[in-house]
Amino acid sequence: MANVLIDGLKERISNAIKINQSIGILLPGSNYSDLLQALFEYMSSQPEDVWVYVTITKPYETLAKEFEFIEESKHITFIDCISRAAGITKTYPNCIYIESPTMLEKLGLEVMNVFKEVNNERRKYLVIDSLSNLMIYNDPDIVTEFFYHITNRTRARNIHTISLAIEEEGMDKYLNRLIYLNDKILKVRDSFI
C-alpha cells in the first residue's frame, strides 16, 4: 500500500509542478514520511534541475540517514533551519545552516543566494518543509508576510515552489491563508491521494 501511495504522490507532484509555478501540499501528519520519500525520489530523478530544500521539520542529518541517496544528489542544496537550534553542530557540504527558524530574513537571503549562482537555462525548484512548523517558531502573521515575499521573489525569477503544510488542529485559519497563495493545492488524505 505504501508503494502505491508513494508512486501516486510522485506522479501528482510531477504533473502539478510542471504546469504550475507554485504548489502547496496539505497533508495529515500520518502521511508525512510517505510524502518525503516520494518527494526525494522525484527530486533525485531530476539531476538536470536545481533544487533547494528548506527543512524546518527535521535536521538535515536525520534526513540524510533516512534517505541515504540525497547526500549523493549534487543538484539538491539543503537549508537546515533546525539543527543549530537543536544544538547539532555537525556540517555537511550540501547543506547551509541557519541558526534558528525565527531568522526568516536570513532564510530568504540564503535561498536567493543559492539560486543566484545557477545557470538560467536550468529549471529551479524551492521546497519549504513546512509552513506549519514555521508557524510554531514564528507569529503566523509574520510567516504569512514571509511566504508572500518569498513566493513573489521566486515567481519573478521563474523558480517553482513546493510548500508543505501539515494539517494541525487550531492552525486551519492560518494554513488556509498561506496554502491558497499557491497556484495549485494537492490535498493528501489517509485513504487516498
Residue 76 lies in a domain: yes
Say what the pLDDT of residue 191 is. 56
Residue 52 lies in a domain: yes
- In angstroms, rounded to a whole number, what is the distance separating the alpha carbons of residues 48 and 70? 15
| pTM of the shown model | 0.93
Residue 96, classed as helix, strand or coil, is strand
* pLDDT per position as a tens digit, 3-60: 776 788 788 888 888 888 899 998 888 888 888 998 999 999 999 999 999 999 999 9
What angle do helix axes 172-179 and 140-156 make, rounded to 10 degrees?
Answer: 10
Residue 147 lies in a domain: yes
pLDDT, average across residues 71-88: 95
- In angstroms, rounded to a whole number, what is the distance separating the alpha carbons of residues 50 and 56? 20
Say how many Å lie between the first and final Cα of the chain, rounded.
12
What letter does residue 171 receive in the DSSP assignment? -
- In angstroms, rounded to a whole number, what is the distance separating the alpha carbons of residues 145 and 176? 14
Which of 13, 35, 20, 51 has the alpha carbon at shortest distance from 165? 35
Say what the pLDDT of residue 134 is. 95
* pLDDT, averaged across the chain: 90
Binning pLDDT at 50, 70 and 90, where does residue 193 land? very low
**DSSP symbols for 105-168:** HHHHHHHHHHHHTS-TTS-EEEEEE-HHHHHHHS-HHHHHHHHHHHHHHHHHTTEEEEEEEE--
Say what the pLDDT of residue 141 is. 92
Residue 190 has φ and ψ, to the nearest 5°, of -60, -40
pLDDT at 88 over 90: yes
* pLDDT per position as a tens digit, 93-134: 999 999 999 999 999 999 999 999 898 899 999 999 999 999
Which of 109, 92, 193, 97 has the alpha carbon at shortest distance from 149? 109
* Beta-carbon contacts of residue 189 (< 8 Å; ≥ 6 apart): 28, 31
Residue 193 lies in a domain: no
- In angstroms, rounded to a whole number, what is the distance separating the alpha carbons of residues 121 and 49? 10
Residue 130 lies in a domain: yes
Residue 55 lies in a domain: yes
Count: domains in the chain: 1
CATH code where residue 137 lies: 3.40.50.300
* pLDDT per position as a tens digit, 145-175: 999 999 999 999 999 999 999 887 666 777 8
Structural domain harbouring 162: 2-187
Binning pLDDT at 50, 70 and 90, where does residue 86 land? very high
Q: Which residues pair with 124 in a beta bridge?
A: 50, 159
Q: Which residues pair with 129 in a beta bridge?
A: 55
Please tell me the least confidently modeled range out of 94-98, 137-141, 160-164, 184-188: 184-188
Residue 158 lies in a domain: yes
Residue 174 lies in a domain: yes
Say what the pLDDT of residue 1 is. 46
